């Protein structure tokens, strides 16, 4: 569907994107992950045709981005204000009129759950409502390819989950979605394929489950320090101390638990979790994703 | 190319945005009316304290020794013609010519003119021939109204285009449009037409309201005044486009609007005549579109000039508009 080759973008002495190659198949929900400043937005904006690369090329359906590209894709930018004093329905009408074959207003309202605030002026919308309106604008021309740049950043957990269900609805229509995010859970729940960026480069790509399987064959057991028999107690198992707790990696949870019990550790507040993309990122780059 | 469907969509949205911004709307309307009412009340009965007499030629005459008369030298044929107009408008009370002929001009409708004429006759000296003109007094309020109309258009154009487009750029509205099939031409022309509609409607509303509340001079044709307002508004909007072209900070835009607007307001003769100002001031004033707008509007309202008579100002405004527009579009960036 869309492909980038050897993409480079420099701003003066700063190289924001440094040799990125990507190919995204039709119908895929592709997640571009990375910490702030990794080059996600710069990469996606070059793919959207909003900014030009310093070097490299972007191909849409095998051809360079042409005049019709903007009519055929949908974009939700990271920071967009809507014109003040326009009601939601005015904004949707405005953007519907910018395209030759827009979706009916009723479809957009339903797809993005807008019916409760169609008559509200844009400056009075909540964060979640605003993001839904921006999503509706991105969908106004019924695009096959949709770019969503950090669509849930700044939303409360409830709004974020609501937004995810809207994106799942779009996925079910077999649209191709390119999503940037720094929420691992978002990528895990929505994306068929992800690429992790750091310092302008893609450091790894694949499906979330494959990547986790490839890098991790263990579970993480977490305990508070207060679970130890006394403060100076030394565990026999290999472990890490972090954030006031103890983390133990284990390939055989039963055996690890038995060992801990034998050593007199209190397991009442034991937490066992599978490895996440966050752990993967930490392992690959040595720093936290949201740093 | 211009797709009219998209053009009208953006035009409509911008008009809605403006009409619903009640605070800005009422300020745009109330400000010039308040200014004019203020001037009308301050200057009502604000008669000049001295008698003013224009004097042409270097001849001697005992009248020139009279006290409490301010004598203003007049030179050349053009100066003479202008001075006669001032007698007609009660701006000077009498005009005395001592070379090449002994003549004086007096406005038969002017009480002060009558008084000065008695002083002239009583002073003795050579016989001077009486020339009578007539005409109603041009008061400050008559003179300042075309200026305030022009000034209001100027601030509305510079803020409504210069400031608003920069704000759009800063908060991502422009980027959002860039991601659609909208072209620069469609976007800019919609902004221009929307603002022009607003400016001209506002000017008409302000004019009509002032007409109801105040008594002021309007000797020319409404059509000629309308042409001046439309073309003048257009030239100021195009000037605003240059400010709006690239700046990304609305503080900088606001500063630039003031940097441009303040000297224009002072040097374009909105509040006071630039007659007698240093030559460089007159030259600088010529580069401002507002100077030509106010000149043309005054010519229409106070002198009853028609479109032909104000053609020079209209041509200059047309030329300035074309130049500003080309520069504004050429410099324009979405981001």
**Each residue of A132-143: pLDDT tens digit?**
999 999 999 999
Q: Are strands B94-97 and B51-56 parallel, antiparallel or unpaired?
A: parallel
Q: What does the pLDDT read at residue A289?
A: 55
- What is the arithmetic mean of pLDDT over A221-225? 89
Between B272 and A119, residue with greater pLDDT = A119
- Asked which of A213, A245, A266 is the last residue of a domain, the reply is A213
Residue A288 belongs to some domain of the structure: no
Q: Which of residues 196-225 of A touch B (CB under 8 A)?
A: none
- A183 touching B (Cβ < 8 Å): no
With a cut of 90, say whether residue A127 has pLDDT above it: no
With an 8 Å Cβ cutoff, are B179 and A77 in contact? yes
With a cut of 70, say whether residue B125 has pLDDT above it: yes
Q: State yes or no: ipTM above 0.90.
A: no
- What is the arithmetic mean of pLDDT over A236-242? 84
A73 shares its domain with A177: yes
Kindly report the three-state secondary structure assignment for every residue of chain A: CEEEEEEEEEECCEEEEEEEEEEECCCCEEEEECCCCCCHHHHHHHHCCCCCCCEEEEEECCEECCCCHHHHEEEECCCCCCCCCCEHHHHHHHHHCCCCCCCCHHHHHHHCCCHHHCCCEHHHCCHHHHHHHHHHHHHCCCCCEEEEECCCCCCCHHHHHHHHHHHHHHHCCCCEEEEEECCHHHHHHHCCEEEEEECCEEEEEECHHHHHHHHCCCEEEEEEHHHCCCCCCCCCCCCEEECCEEEEEECCHHHHHHHHHHCCCCCCCCEEEECCHHHHHHHHHCCCCCC
- What is the arithmetic mean of pLDDT over A76-94? 90
- What is the arithmetic mean of pLDDT over B212-235? 91
A137 shares its domain with A251: no
A145 shares its domain with A203: yes
pLDDT tens string B234-265: 999 999 999 999 898 888 988 999 999 999 98
CA distance B171 to chain A (A): 5
Residue B303 is inside which H or E element, if any? helix B289-303
Residue A39 belongs to some domain of the structure: yes
Give percent of chain B above pLDDT 70. Answer: 98
Q: Which burial class, exposed, middle or buried, applies to B270 when counting CB atoms under 10 A from its CB (0-12, 13-18, 19+)?
A: buried
The CA R_g of chain B, rounded to the nearest whole Å, is 24
Segments in B56-214 forming alpha helices (H): 76-88, 111-122, 140-157, 164-171, 173-178, 184-213
Q: What does the pLDDT read at residue B47?
A: 52
Instruction: Report the length, in residues, of chain B.
Output: 335
Residue A282 belongs to some domain of the structure: no
The Cα–Cα gap between A8 and B194 comes to 40
A264 shares its domain with A182: no
With a cut of 90, say whether residue B230 has pLDDT above it: yes
Q: Which of residues 24-63 of A touch B (CB under 8 A)?
A: 48, 50-51
A249 shares its domain with A201: no
With an 8 Å Cβ cutoff, are A80 and B173 in contact? yes
Which contacts qualify for B207-212: CB closer than 8 Å, 24 or more apart?
B207/B149, B209/B29, B209/B33, B210/B33, B210/B36, B210/B145
A259 shares its domain with A177: no
A225 shares its domain with A204: no
A222 shares its domain with A207: no
Q: What does the pLDDT read at residue B70?
A: 87
Question: Sign of the CA dihedral B36, B42, B44, B46?
Answer: negative
If one counts the domains in chain A, the total is 2
Q: What does the pLDDT read at residue B323?
A: 96
- What is the arithmetic mean of pLDDT over A179-194? 88
With a cut of 90, say whether residue B28 has pLDDT above it: no
**Helices B184-213, B140-157: inter-axial angle, 10-degree rounding:** 160
With a cut of 70, say whether residue A290 has pLDDT above it: no
With an 8 Å Cβ cutoff, are B171 and A79 in contact? yes
Q: Pick from A123, A128, A129: which is nearest to A84 by CA?
A: A123
8-state DSSP, B273: -
Spell out which residues of chain A touch residue B6, defining contact as CB-CB under 8 Å: 97-98
Question: Using 50, 70 and 90 to split pLDDT, how confident is the model at A67?
Answer: confident
CA distance A50 to chain B (A): 7
Q: What does the pLDDT read at residue A291?
A: 43
Residue A175 belongs to some domain of the structure: yes
- What is the arithmetic mean of pLDDT over B35-56? 74
Phi, psi of B263 (to 5 degrees): -60, -35
The answer to whether residues A174 and A13 touch, using CB atoms and an 8 Å cutoff, is no
Residue A183 belongs to some domain of the structure: yes
User: A159: domain CATH number?
Assistant: 3.40.50.300
- B265 touching A (Cβ < 8 Å): no
Residue A99 belongs to some domain of the structure: yes
pTM for the structure as a whole: 0.80
Q: What is the mean pLDDT of chain B?
A: 88
Residue A287 belongs to some domain of the structure: no
A42 shares its domain with A150: yes
The Cα–Cα gap between A263 and A227 comes to 11
Question: Using 50, 70 and 90 to split pLDDT, how confident is the model at B44?
Answer: low
- A13 touching B (Cβ < 8 Å): no
The CA R_g of chain A, rounded to the nearest whole Å, is 23
Between B319 and A40, residue with greater pLDDT = B319
Residue A123 belongs to some domain of the structure: yes
Question: Using 50, 70 and 90 to split pLDDT, how confident is the model at A87?
Answer: very high
A29 shares its domain with A125: yes
B117-142 burial string, b = 16+ CB within 10 Å, else e?
A: bebbeeeebeebeeeebebeebbebb
- Asked which of A193, A213, A233 is the last residue of a domain, the reply is A213
* Cis? peptide before B100, omega within 30° of 0: yes
Contacts across the A-B interface (CB distance below 8 Å): 65
A149 shares its domain with A270: no
- What is the arithmetic mean of pLDDT over A118-131? 91
- Cα angle value B140/B32/B202 (rounded, 5°): 125
With a cut of 80, say whether residue B54 has pLDDT above it: yes
With an 8 Å Cβ cutoff, are A77 and B9 in contact? no
- Nearest-Cα residue of chain A relative to residue B2: A98
- Asked which of A175, A198, A213 is the last residue of a domain, the reply is A213
The answer to whether residues B29 and A120 touch, using CB atoms and an 8 Å cutoff, is no
Spell out which residues of chain A touch residue B169, defining contact as CB-CB under 8 Å: none
Q: What does the pLDDT read at residue A164?
A: 92
A9 shares its domain with A68: yes
Pick from B20, B171, B182: CB nearest A98: B182
Q: Structural domain of residue A247, as residue ranges? A: 217-274
Q: What does the pLDDT read at residue B182?
A: 92
């Amino acid at each position: 569907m869309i492909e980038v080759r050897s993409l480079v973008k420099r701003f003066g002495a700063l190289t924001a994107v440094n040799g990125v190659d990507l190919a995204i198949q039709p119908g895929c929900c592709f997640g571009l992950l990375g910490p702030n400043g990794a080059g996600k937005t710069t990469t996606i904006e070059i793919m959207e045709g909003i900014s030009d690369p310093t070097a490299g090329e972007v191909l849409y359906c095998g051809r360079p981005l042409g005049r019709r590209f903007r009519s055929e894709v949908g974009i939700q930018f990271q920071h967009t204000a809507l014109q003040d004093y326009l009601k939601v329905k005015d904004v949707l009408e405005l953007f519907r009129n910018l395209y030759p074959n827009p979706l009916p207003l009723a479809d957009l309202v339903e797809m993005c759950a807008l019916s409760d605030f169609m008559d509200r002026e844009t400056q009075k919308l909540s964060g979640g409502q605003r993001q839904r309106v921006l999503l509706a604008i991105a969908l106004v021309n019924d695009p096959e390819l949709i770019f969503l740049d950090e669509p849930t950043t700044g939303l409360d957990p409830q709004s974020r989950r609501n937004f995810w269900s809207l994106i799942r609805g779009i996925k079910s229509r077999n649209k191709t979605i390119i999503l940037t995010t720094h929420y691992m859970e978002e990528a895990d729940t929505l994306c068929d394929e992800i690429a992790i960026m750091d310092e302008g480069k893609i450091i790894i790509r694949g499906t979330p489950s494959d990547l986790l399987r490839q890098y991790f064959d263990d579970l993480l057991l977490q305990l508070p320090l207060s679970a130890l028999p006394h403060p100076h107690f030394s565990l026999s198992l290999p472990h890490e101390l972090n954030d006031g707790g103890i983390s133990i990696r284990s390939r055989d949870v039963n055996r690890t638990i038995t060992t801990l019990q034998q050593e007199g550790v209190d397991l009442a507040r034991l937490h066992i979790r599978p490895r996440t993309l966050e752990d993967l990122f930490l392992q690959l780059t040595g720093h936290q994703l949201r740093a | 190319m211009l797709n009219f469907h998209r053009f009208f969509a953006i035009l409509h949205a911008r008009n809605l945005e403006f009409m619903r911004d009640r605070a800005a709307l009422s300020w745009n309307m109330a400000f010039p009316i308040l200014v004019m009412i203020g001037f009308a009340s301050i200057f009502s009965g604000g008669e000049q304290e001295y008698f003013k007499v224009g004097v042409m030629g270097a001849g001697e005459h005992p009248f020139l020794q009279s006290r409490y008369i301010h004598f203003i030298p007049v030179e050349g044929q053009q100066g003479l013609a202008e001075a006669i107009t001032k007698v007609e408008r009660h701006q000077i009370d009498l005009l005395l010519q001592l070379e090449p002929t002994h003549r004086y001009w007096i406005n038969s409708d002017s009480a002060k003119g009558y008084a000065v004429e008695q002083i002239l006759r009583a002073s003795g000296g050579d016989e001077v021939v009486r020339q009578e003109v007539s005409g109603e007094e041009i008061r400050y309020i008559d003179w300042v109204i075309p200026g305030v109309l022009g000034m209001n258009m100027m601030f509305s154009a510079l803020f409504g285009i210069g400031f608003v487009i920069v704000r759009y750029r800063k908060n991502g509205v422009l980027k959002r449009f860039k991601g659609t099939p909208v072209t620069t031409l469609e976007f800019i022309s919609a902004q221009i037409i929307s603002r022009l509609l607003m400016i001209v409607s506002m000017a008409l509303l302000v004019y009509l309201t002032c007409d109801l509340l105040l008594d002021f001079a309007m000797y020319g044709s409404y059509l000629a005044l309308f042409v001046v307002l439309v073309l003048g508004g257009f030239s100021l909007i195009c000037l605003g486009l240059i400010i709006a072209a690239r700046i990304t900070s609305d503080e900088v835009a606001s500063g630039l609007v003031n940097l441009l607007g303040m000297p224009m307001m002072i040097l374009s003769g909105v509040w006071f005549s630039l007659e007698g100002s240093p030559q460089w001031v007159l030259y600088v004033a010529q580069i401002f579109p507002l100077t030509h707008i106010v000149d043309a509007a005054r010519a229409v309202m106070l002198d009853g000039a028609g479109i032909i008579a104000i053609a020079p100002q209209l041509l200059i405004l047309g030329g300035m508009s074309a130049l500003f527009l080309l520069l504004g579009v050429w410099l324009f960036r979405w981001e």
